[in-house]
């Protein structure tokens, strides 16, 4: 088993910022990431096999990547952290280098996943998530379509649309479910807590206007049409409760529909570690409970960035530094570190106010369940439809655990990342209770799919067996 001062999961902005803060202060760091290159989603790079590789996108990324060459940092790409078997220990799969690491402090910067919402036609070829579109453009230099509709809810739609335009696509429309423009002016003062981010958001909006991209607010995609692939998209007005005005439907021709309905923190590892969580829809759903120093309810385990609560890249960078400083202060409680933490806390407070204002502006309708028809797949991995869930619920399978066990919903490749939140909304609505009050299925390792062969390379000590083989272990 390896040992290090700080183990960091995720080499995105938050993880890289935490690593740099730690190694520059004299600590050893083991940085693990399941991608082949660092940067996460925001600083995603083209594969090294490409003849033209833009490893560094801009100066800020270059400064972050410099930490990878530091002698006190051990960087493991293509490494999946799949379990937290004991406090202070991580199990990871990395081919022949698989094993476990013991750390004085653990910082989880696992990022976030798209939150898809089912609607008729959402499984058609040509319908992809906003995160998938970003990966194709930034990570593979592939344009996902020529005539694209971008739809859903949240500021990521603007980012996705801008990258599509830069890639040469024609964006037919950006369809935002929230009444964005009406809310933005009333919250302009709150947005001023981060002037640079406000200017960036305004520049995106102006660039869309310059490209003559229609920006439709208070509307949602109600159906995707085509055979065998996407050909057209129908949109309709949606009110704050999620009611669809199907008498006013507009259909746009498109060969690609990019759907983004916000992000959900990747909390698999914090759940496996036994951290307490609470449900906050404005921050992406289930989020770990954290102190001001970003420590969870498990001592020595910190979680930062969008993997803890959705807040964007600036907040992720600052939180990564804060967690590393907090771990440093456990060892070196000096005045200079306390001052740095104090200044960083003030910066985090300003960014937090900005995040709250953005969340208010883009607050979605109360529900999108009216979009789903009985024939619509809720779980695309196991092809479980709303109608099938309804029949089972009518027969008495009313809970999430019962429905999962009966239908295999959430047992496919995505392990519930695409469907479990929708199932929770359906069950909570049917039973008239809050999502947070449901009995959620227990999470088990592995946190992410791993190759069975990788686990065979892990050095595990032989079990301690009793002299009498008929007695249980420990006898």
Question: What confidence tier does 56 reach under pLDDT thresholds 50, 70, 90?
Answer: very low
Tens digit of pLDDT for each residue in 378-389?
999 999 999 999
Examine the pLDDT at 473 and tell me if it is beyond 60.
no
Please write the tens of the pLDDT for every residue from 126-150: 999 999 999 999 888 899 999 999 9
Which regions of the chain carry the CATH code 1.10.10.1100? Answer: 372-437
- The answer for residues whose C-beta is within 8 angstroms of residue 15's C-beta and 6 or more apart is 8, 9, 31, 33, 40, 107, 109, 304, 305, 320
58: pLDDT confidence band, cut at 50, 70 and 90? low
Separation CA 106–CA 15 (nearest Å): 11
Q: Which CATH class is domain 2-113+264-333?
A: alpha beta
More confident site: 50 or 5: 5
* pLDDT score recorded for residue 195: 79
Range 83-89 average pLDDT? 94
The predicted pLDDT at position 80 comes to: 97
With 60 as the cut, is the pLDDT of residue 111 above it? yes
**88 φ/ψ sector (left φ>0, alpha ψ -120 to 50, else beta):** left
Please tell us whether the domain made up of 116-261 is placed in CATH 2.160.20.10: no
Long-range pairs, 156-160, Cβ under 8 A, ≥24: 156/130, 156/131, 156/260, 156/262, 156/263, 157/130, 157/260, 158/201, 158/204, 158/205, 158/208, 159/130, 159/134, 159/204, 160/130, 160/133, 160/134, 160/258, 160/260
Instruction: Find out if CATH 1.10.10.1100 is the number for domain 372-437.
Output: yes
pLDDT tens column, 268-316: 999 999 999 999 988 889 999 999 999 999 999 999 999 999 999 999 9
In this model, does residue 332 exceed pLDDT 90? no
pLDDT at 54 > cutoff 60: no
Average pLDDT over the chain, rounded to an integer: 90
Could you give the residue range(s) of every CATH 3.50.50.60 domain in the chain?
2-113+264-333, 116-261
Which tens digit of pLDDT belongs to each residue from 188-221? 777 777 777 778 878 888 888 889 999 999 999 9
Is 475 a residue whose pLDDT tops 60?
no
């Amino acid at each position: 088993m390896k040992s290090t001062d700080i183990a960091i999961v995720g080499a995105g902005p938050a993880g890289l910022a935490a690593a740099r803060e730690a190694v520059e202060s004299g600590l050893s760091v083991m940085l693990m990431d399941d991608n082949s290159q660092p940067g996460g989603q925001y600083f995603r790079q083209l594969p090294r096999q490409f003849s033209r590789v833009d490893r560094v996108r801009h100066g800020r990324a270059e400064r972050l990547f410099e930490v990878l060459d530091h002698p006190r940092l051990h960087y493991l790409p293509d490494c999946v952290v799949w379990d937290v078997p004991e406090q202070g220990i991580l199990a990871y799969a990395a081919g022949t280098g698989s094993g476990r690491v013991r750390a004085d402090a653990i910082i989880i910067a696992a990022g976030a996943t798209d939150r898809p919402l089912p609607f008729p036609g959402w499984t058609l070829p040509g319908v992809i998530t906003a995160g998938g579109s970003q990966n194709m453009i930034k990570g593979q230099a592939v344009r996902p379509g020529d005539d694209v509709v971008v739809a859903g809810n949240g500021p990521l739609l603007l980012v996705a649309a801008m990258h599509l335009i830069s890639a040469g696509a024609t964006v037919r429309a950006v369809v935002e479910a929230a009444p964005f423009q009406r809310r933005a002016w009333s919250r302009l003062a709150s947005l001023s807590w981060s002037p640079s981010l406000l200017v960036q958001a305004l520049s995106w909006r102006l660039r869309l206007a310059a490209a003559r991209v229609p920006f439709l607010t208070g509307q949602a995609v109600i159906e995707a049409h085509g055979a065998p692939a996407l050909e057209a998209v129908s949109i309709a007005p949606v009110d704050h409760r999620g009611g669809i005005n199907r008498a006013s439907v507009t259909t746009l021709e498109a060969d690609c529909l990019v759907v983004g309905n916000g992000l959900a923190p990747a909390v698999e590892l914090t759940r496996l570690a036994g951290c307490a969580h609470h449900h906050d829809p404005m921050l992406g759903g289930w989020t770990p409970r954290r102190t001001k120093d970003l420590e969870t309810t498990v001592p020595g385990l910190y979680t930062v960035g969008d993997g803890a609560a959705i807040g964007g890249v600036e907040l992720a960078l600052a939180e990564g530094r804060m967690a590393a400083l907090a771990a440093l202060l456990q060892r070196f409680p000096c005045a200079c570190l306390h001052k740095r933490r104090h200044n960083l806390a003030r910066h985090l407070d300003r960014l937090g106010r900005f995040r709250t204002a953005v969340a208010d502006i883009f607050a979605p309708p109360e529900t999108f369940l009216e979009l789903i028809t009985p024939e619509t797949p809720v779980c695309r991995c196991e092809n479980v439809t709303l109608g099938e869930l309804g029949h089972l619920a009518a027969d008495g399978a009313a809970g999430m655990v019962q429905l999962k066990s009966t239908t295999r919903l959430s047992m496919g490749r995505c392990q519930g990342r695409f469907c479990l939140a929708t199932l929770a909304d359906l069950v909570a609505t049917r039973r008239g209770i809050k999502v947070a009050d449901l009995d959620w299925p227990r999470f088990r390792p592995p946190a992410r799919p791993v190759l069975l062969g990788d686990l065979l390379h892990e050095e595990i000590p032989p079990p301690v067996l009793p002299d009498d083989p008929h007695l249980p272990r420990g006898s």
